[in-house]
Amino acid sequence: MTRLPVVHHPDYQAPLHDGHTFPMSKYGYLREVLVERGLTAPGDWLTPAPATEAMIARAHDPAYVARVFGGTLTPEEEKRIGYPHTDRVTRRSRLASAGTLIAARFALETGIACNTAGGSHHARHEHGAGFCVFNDVAIAIRALQREGGLGPVLVIDCDVHQGDGTAAIFRGDPGVFTLSLHASGNYPFEKEAGDLDIALPDGSGDTEYLAALDTALDRVAGEGPFSIAFYNAGVDVHADDRLGRLTLTDAGIRARDCRIIEWAKARALPLTCVLGGGYDWDRHRLAERHAILFEEAQASL
């Protein structure tokens, strides 16, 4: 059996105060679920080294990156991000960015790879926002572009929140096509225009969601071919999610992941999967929801 490349680092989980809205412990729970289900094993996952300042500054304003590295974000910047500005949070953001790049490199070789973090799609060129310090997908794409020889890139963002930061960073870049499928009533309340945005009404369930996804993929197919795709598999589309406004079931999420993975596979399109959002006080259930992606990715090999 071919083993799915899984990228993980224990420091994806940074300490936050109890009761913080962001369910930071989900990364540890996810690792446990993946090991339990034989989807990875200790010593088996790929471990990133923190992304460097120069690497991050290819996708972000160097002055912003320097403030994050130097611990000198303003209180307003910190508030917009929503995390306390600590060394561990910075380290986590650097690791997740490097992790997405490693996953992309493995996807190019093997067809598919998954990062157990990433999908920080609200981070923009000049600032972070919405629990996103650095835009890991943008950083990975910029790194690959810089190496040369990379054809058009596709971003498939299925987190329930619009991928506004990613859309803004790649506006005007003909080499990157951004698709976002999200709930219209969710944060960010002012959406950014990406290349294709599908906003679903509040309360949409599996049927409406999957029909919209099929329509989106049909349209995107006409824009290709692409050399690599990045898939943000946020599970905050789930009915029980605290921050989402959609009503997908576990089966709906599985069908979504399966459809995207098979769509890419049918086109021999390397697929880099990143975790995206998911907010549930029950961390174990949340981890199981995120694990669906890894199960479907492994099953596709």
| Interacting residue ranges for Zn ion, rule: CB under 5 A | 159, 161, 234, 236, 277
Query: Measured from the CB of residue 135, what is the shortest distance to Zn ion in angstroms?
Result: 14
Closer by beta carbon to Zn ion, 48 or else 234: 234
Contact 120, 195 (CB under 8 A): no
Nearest distance, CB of residue 278 and Zn ion, angstroms: 8
Q: Show Cβ contacts of residue 301 under 8 Å, excluding neighbours closer than 6 positions.
A: 1, 2, 3, 4, 110, 111, 112
Q: Is the peptide bond before 10 cis (omega within 30 degrees of 0)?
A: no
Residue among 135 and 298 whose Cβ is closer to Zn ion: 135
- Return d(Cα 152, Cα 228) in angstroms, integer: 7
Contact 70, 85 (CB under 8 A): no
Q: Give the 3-state secondary structure of residue 180.
A: strand
**Closer CB to Zn ion, residue 99 or residue 234?**
234
Residue 68 and residue 82: Cα distance in Å, rounded?
14
CB of 30 to Zn ion, least distance (A): 16
Contact 216, 199 (CB under 8 A): no
Token pair recorded at residue 183: 């709930």
Closest distance to Zn ion from the beta carbon of 39 (Å): 23
Pick 105 or 124: Cβ nearer Zn ion? 124
| Smallest gap from residue 3 Cβ to Zn ion (A) | 29
CB of 209 to Zn ion, least distance (A): 15
- Rounded to 5 degrees, φ, ψ at 178 are -110, 125
Residue 236 or 280: the one with the smaller Cβ distance to Zn ion is 236
- Number of Cβ within 10 Å of residue 79's Cβ equals 12
Minimum CB distance to Zn ion smaller for 5 or for 128 = 128
192 DSSP 8-state letter: P
